[in-house]
Homo-oligomer: A and B are copies of this chain.
Amino acid sequence: MFLHVDYTSSRPLYEQIREQVHLMISQGQLKPGDRLPPVRQLASDLATAPATVARAYRELEQDGVLKGKGRSGSVITERRPILAPAERSRRLQQAAEQFATQARMLGVDLNEAIQILTESWLPEQ
C-alpha cells in the first residue's frame, strides 16, 4: 500500500492524500523525479473514487510539488515557491494561532506546546 488514509476522519480524503505526499517528500521517501501511482490505481487501492485522487493530484500541482499531465503519469518536481510571501506568512500565522488557541484551552503553556510540536514534527531530523 502506497499511503494510508483514515476514512473515519472528518478531514477530506483528498486533503489526507495531499498531506501524506507532502509528508513523504519532507521525509525523503519521495524525491524529485519519482512517480506517483496512476490516479485510477491509487483510487482502487484506497477504495475511493478516481475523482477524489485526481483532486488531490491537482492540488499538489498547485502546491508546486507535482507535475505532469497526460504525458507520462505524475512526477514529483523540485519544489517551487508558489505563494506570495505575504500569503505564506498569513497562512502560517493562522495555523499557529489555531494551535495556540487549542493548546491554551487545554491549559498548556508555551514550553509544553513547543515540546509537543517538536515531537509531532518528524522522527528523524
Contact = CB atoms under 8 A, between A and B. Distances in A.
Interface string A95-125: 1111111111111101001101111111001
A11 interface: yes
A56 to B, nearest CB: 13
Contact of A84 (B23, B67, B84, B92): B84
Interface string A39-74: 000000000000000000000001110011101000
Protomer copies: 4
Nearest to A104: B26
Interface of A: 7-8, 10-11, 18-19, 22-23, 26, 62-64, 67-69, 71, 79-88, 91-93, 95-108, 110, 113-114, 116-122, 125
